[in-house]
Amino acid sequence: MAKIKKYKIARRLGSSVYEKTQSQKFMLAEQKRRKSRTGRPKRPTDYGMSLIQKQRVRFSYGVSEKQFSNSVKKAFESAKHGEIPADTLFKLLEKRLDNVIYRSGISKTRAFGRQLVTHGHITVNGKKIDVPSYSVKNGDIISIREGSKSKTVFIDLEKTLKSTKAPSWLKIDSSKLTIEITGEPKNPDKFFNFQAVIEFYSR
């Protein structure tokens, strides 16, 4: 996605929607832009606010409308088993392979994580997986494909993984360049309102 388009989306949905718009430069530019506005900004409707919450999650995780809708359907179905749909939706998105690559520190952005997976650099339990939406599960071991370890992008990966503060459900072995799934994702970012997303689709 073009940088200009990302900045436009981030102005509407909030700077935290993309990793690259969480910079001081972007924040200062936005403050300057707001000061130059004239008149009172329009207050979004309840529907508009719910749509913003939904788009924040979708754009941040980088999923298509169809993929997102399918995840929401699974979240609703989980209620039949006594689970909370909002929590299920969060877990489904967090356990996407491209997101795990990002959370582990292998990639600095989810978009780059998707590229690494698509280009065949990532394995799960020793098998190459090139589908970014692949859902990991407890016990899975994610690693860099042996033939890809010499690539420039992975040269300093051991050092990077050592300094990465990964979520508690990911166990990183920097010497082996592996990530093990040891639990369930917890504590979603306060920037995202997964309950509002579920309510949006409940209309």
* Domain CATH number, residue 151: 3.10.290.10
In a shared domain, residues 114 and 174: yes
pLDDT at 70 over 70: yes
Mean pLDDT of the chain: 88
Q: What is the pLDDT of residues 26-42, one digit of tens each?
A: 555 556 655 566 556 56
Contact 202, 50 (CB under 8 A): no
Q: What is the pLDDT of residues 124-140, one digit of tens each?
A: 999 999 999 999 999 99
**Is 84 domain-assigned?**
yes
Torsion of CA 155, 104, 68, 197, to 10 degrees: -140
- Of 50, 93, 54, nearest to 74 (Cα)? 93
Torsion of CA 24, 25, 31, 35, to 10 degrees: 160
**Is 170 domain-assigned?**
yes
Q: How many domains does the chain have?
A: 2
Strand order from edge to edge, sheet including 122-124: 127-128, 122-124, 141-144, 178-181, 170-173
Question: Which range, of 13-27, 90-104, 121-135, averages the lowest pLDDT?
Answer: 13-27
Six-digit token pair at 198? Answer: 């579920």
pLDDT band at 6 (very low <50, low <70, confident <90, very high): low
pTM for this model (two decimals): 0.82
**Is 76 domain-assigned?**
yes
**Is 34 domain-assigned?**
no
In this prediction, residue 42 carries a pLDDT of 66
Look up the domain containing 117 and give its range.
96-181
Token match 């967090």: residue? 94
**Is 150 domain-assigned?**
yes
In a shared domain, residues 109 and 158: yes
Average pLDDT of the segment spanning 90-98: 98
In a shared domain, residues 114 and 172: yes
